[in-house]
Chain A
Amino acid sequence: MSEHRCDIKLTVNGETISETVEARTTLVDFLREALSLTGSHVGCEHGVCGACTVRVDGVIVRGCLMLAAQCDGAKVETIEGVSDAGEIADLQAAFERRNALQCGFCTPGMLLTAQELLRGGGVPSRDKIREQISGNYCRCTGYQAIVDAIEAVAQERAEAKR
């Protein structure tokens, strides 16, 4: 019952996966190493940088602060799945257009974090956008362009709804 290895069955980007994992394997390491989904990045490994952000059961979490063993029965979505589904195509385009990325290390986490705010609808204030991405480090851009891109997409989506 209590084991060092666990059998898990979950969906990752819509695909059903059955694997045996070491109990100590974090979700992000499982995604990267067992499933070769390397869009989720491993940065600080203690929940500070946000590079490992993925969605579990519809909400963003730190991939380094959750065990793969805890994801038995869960629905996991990574940047690969969310990107392929076209859900954030406008956000990705805005990031490119406004130079909201340089090295790209923070970008997958930044996009998923921004999308969680934007999914709520409306046009959030710049302060609210900054608060939302406060847990995601970017060491290239100085954040200004990222806030610009997120704000622009919020406005575009609000406009398109009218």
Chain B
Amino acid sequence: MKPAPFAYAKARSLDHAIELLGRDEARLLAGGQSLMATLNMRLSAPKLLIDLNGVAALGGIAVKDGTIEIGALTRHIEAERSADIAKHAPLIALAMPHIGHPAIRNRGTLGGSLAFADPAAELPACLLALNGELEIAGPKGKRTVKAEDFFKGLFETALGPQDVLTAIRVPAATKDTRVGFAEFARRHGDYAMVGLAAAARADGKGLAGLRLAYFGVGATPVRAKKAEAALANGHVDDAVTALASDLDPSADVQADGATKRHLAGVLLRRVAKQLMEPRA
């Protein structure tokens, strides 16, 4: 199918984009790798598309004061190749090859993926596992929202109608940082049936500050808090058992709830191994 007619405007700056968002039924276009598909299928039909590509203020990767900040318009391919992300945000580096296919990663942006908030997408779960935050600009200025407050529901976020996601920030990794990532997808690069992003600090033989963020098991990325408590003490079997109360995945086109729950346990064992290994 072909998109319904819309007007197209190139945003000249962040303020210009916010101003244009004030118009009736306007949508932001970043990498377009999800939005364009919904336009082609007429699942959405905005009156105005505001192209953010070219707004320089939305790009760039910077490390300062123990935090790594990644501009919303950073493309997946840039993140995948970034030495700063590999060093300071190793969980994001681990997740990156699982996101889409090469041609998709050449266009798709980190901010676009987070703002779209597909429940089976990798980055929202990574941000939740890393206890990251999102910087949002709107008509009243900038504000910061924690990842756990950002994902509200199915494709629903804390972004208001005139808001632009401008950057994400995650704590920079230290030598004690441990991360793990695994997912099941029917075809490499497709959205996951179930996936798991995890981050922790090595603490003696155990793990401190462990955060397990599952995706593809609910309307938003989901923390598995009972499993976290069990795994932090080194009890992998108990952690897998605890998933029964942590997760309540409903069936989707990919798998039924019981299958997803089983796969979540398999992933937990794989990720637990990764978490126990010191980083190279």
Chain A residues engaging chain B, CB cutoff 8 angstroms: 1-4, 6, 22-24, 26, 29, 45-47, 50, 53, 59-62, 64-67, 69-70, 113, 116-117, 130-132, 134-136
Decide yes or no whether B41 CB sits under 8 A from chain A.
yes
Q: Report Cα–Cα, A22/B3, bound state, in Å.
A: 11
Please give, as numbers and ranges, the residues of chain B lying within 8 Å of A61 by CB-CB distance: 103, 106-107
Q: Report Cα–Cα, A86/B7, bound state, in Å.
A: 39
Report B166-199 CB contacts with A as 1/0, cut-off 8 Å.
Answer: 0000000000000000000001110000000000
Which of the listed residues A29, A50, A62 has the most CB atoms from chain B within 10 Å of its own CB?
A: A62
Q: Is the CB of B101 within 8 A of A50?
A: yes
A30 to chain B, nearest CB (A): 12
Instruction: Find B36's partner among A22, A26, A130, A131 (CB 8 Å cutoff).
Output: A26
Name which of B48-56, B238-246, B271-279 contacts chain A.
B48-56
Q: Report Cα–Cα, A130/B6, bound state, in Å.
A: 38
Please give, as numbers and ranges, the residues of chain A lying within 8 Å of B107 by CB-CB distance: 61-62, 65-66
B258 to chain A, nearest CB (A): 27
Q: Is the CB of A2 within 8 A of B37?
A: no
Report B92-113 CB contacts with A as 1/0, cut-off 8 Å.
Answer: 0000010011111011000000
Decide yes or no whether B268 CB sits under 8 A from chain A.
no
Decide yes or no whether B8 CB sits under 8 A from chain A.
yes
Other contacts beyond A2-B48, A64-B37, A134-B188: 18, CB < 8 A:
A1-B9, A2-B7, A4-B5, A4-B6, A4-B7, A23-B8, A26-B3, A46-B41, A50-B101, A61-B103, A62-B103, A65-B33, A67-B8, A70-B32, A117-B102, A135-B102, A135-B104, A135-B189
Instruction: Find B7's partner among A3, A45, A47, A136 (CB 8 Å cutoff).
Output: A3
Decide yes or no whether B253 CB sits under 8 A from chain A.
no
Chain B, 1-35, CB within 8 A of any chain A CB? 1-9, 20, 29, 32-33
Q: Report Cα–Cα, A29/B104, bound state, in Å.
A: 18
Decide yes or no whether B40 CB sits under 8 A from chain A.
yes
Q: Is the CB of A3 within 8 A of B8?
A: yes
Q: Report Cα–Cα, A53/B104, bound state, in Å.
A: 10
Q: Report Cα–Cα, A1/B11, bound state, in Å.
A: 10
Q: Is the CB of A24 within 8 A of B5?
A: yes
B185 to chain A: closest residue by CB: A134
Decide yes or no whether B130 CB sits under 8 A from chain A.
no
Please give, as numbers and ranges, the residues of chain A lying within 8 Å of B9 by CB-CB distance: 1-3
Q: Is the CB of A59 within 8 A of B106?
A: yes
Decide yes or no whether B77 CB sits under 8 A from chain A.
yes
Instruction: Find B102's partner among A22, A65, A116 (CB 8 Å cutoff).
Output: A116
Please give, as numbers and ranges, the residues of chain A lying within 8 Å of B37 by CB-CB distance: 45-47, 64-65
Please give, as numbers and ranges, the residues of chain B lying within 8 Å of A117 by CB-CB distance: 102
B187 to chain A, nearest CB (A): 6
Q: Is the CB of A69 within 8 A of B104?
A: no
A53 to chain B, nearest CB (A): 6
B63 to chain A, nearest CB (A): 26
Q: Report Cα–Cα, A155/B113, bound state, in Å.
A: 37
Q: Is the CB of B6 within 8 A of A65?
A: no
Please give, as numbers and ranges, the residues of chain B lying within 8 Å of A59 by CB-CB distance: 77, 106
Q: Report Cα–Cα, A131/B2, bound state, in Å.
A: 29
Q: Is the CB of B102 within 8 A of A2?
A: no
Please give, as numbers and ranges, the residues of chain B lying within 8 Å of A64 by CB-CB distance: 36-37, 40
Task: Please name the 5 residue pairs, one residue from A and one from B, whose CB atoms are nearest each other, closest first.
Answer: A135-B101, A23-B8, A46-B37, A2-B9, A134-B188
B250 to chain A, nearest CB (A): 24
Which of the listed residues B4, B20, B104 has the most CB atoms from chain A within 10 Å of its own CB?
A: B104
Q: Is the CB of A22 within 8 A of B5?
A: yes
Please give, as numbers and ranges, the residues of chain B lying within 8 Å of A67 by CB-CB distance: 8, 29, 32, 36, 49
Q: Report Cα–Cα, A65/B38, bound state, in Å.
A: 10
Please give, as numbers and ranges, the residues of chain A lying within 8 Å of B8 by CB-CB distance: 2-4, 6, 23, 67, 69
Please give, as numbers and ranges, the residues of chain A lying within 8 Å of B53 by CB-CB distance: 70
